[in-house]
Every structure is written in structure tokens, then in C-alpha cells.
Amino acid sequence: MTTPDPFDDIPGTTLFDAQRSRQGYHLNMFCMSLMKAENRTAFKADEAAYLQKFPMTPEQRDAVLKRDWNTMIRQGGNIYFLAKLFSTDGLSFQHVAALMTGSTQEQYAQMMLEGGRPVDGNRSKSEWKDRG
């Protein structure tokens, strides 16, 4: 049984804590395996078969195969471990961050140059309930 985390109320925030670390251990170890060229080659040759080497949940495997970065984060993936996967795909942090926010890489870069997400509407989910 897990207790609600106060960070759950902040839109777009998934806290990587001890609980999430345990949840994502095998997902993150898969990602770390991609540091070796021979593992990247084996993974790219047959992704589903390669993933069977790691006792991940079906949801984690599915997220990897779909490259659903937000689900991988929610399933315990740490962005610095996931970087091994998106680097294997030839993607940059900026590109993946844009995908995760539903924007293009150009839009994401411009938002960051302008100071990041606006504060209004991004402080808490309960803010939205209070306004509606």
C-alpha cells in the first residue's frame, strides 16, 4: 500500500523516490545494459526478445517498445537511465523532453529560452478544481 505523495498534486511531476526506484530497477538495468555496443546491437536486432532478459512488468516492456517516455517515468524509469535508450535511438534530451511535453523540439527549445513553463496552471492540480 502506498501513501499519496505531495508531489502528485503538481502537473507533470513524477518524483523519483525510493519506491519508484524499486519499481523501476529492472527497467533501469535494461537501460544501463545499452552502454555496451554489443547490447545495443542485440536490442536493435530484436527488441522484444532482448527485453525478455530483464524481469520487467508487461507495462514497462510495452512502454519501452512504444517509446512511451512518460509511462516509463511513471513505471520507475529514471531519465538519466532512459537516456541510454533514447541515445540508442539517436535522440537528444531536448527531443525526448519535447515529446514528453507534447510539443515539437523547436517549440520546447523556445519555451525553455523564454524561461520554461508558465507558473499559472502548473502549480497544482487542485488549483484547477478550485477554478472550475
Give yes or no: residues 30 and 69 share one domain. Answer: yes
SS (H, E, C) 92-119: CHHHHHHHHHCCCHHHHHHHHHCCCCCC
Residue 40 inside a domain? The answer is yes
Give yes or no: residues 82 and 120 share one domain. Answer: no
Give yes or no: residues 55 and 67 share one domain. Answer: yes
Range of the domain at 39: 16-89
The mean pLDDT values, 10 residues at a time, for the chain of 132 residues are 63 76 94 98 98 97 96 93 96 89 87 79 59 52
Q: Which of 37, 28, 24 is nearest to 88 (CA)?
A: 37
pTM: 0.79
CATH of the domain at 77: 1.10.700.10
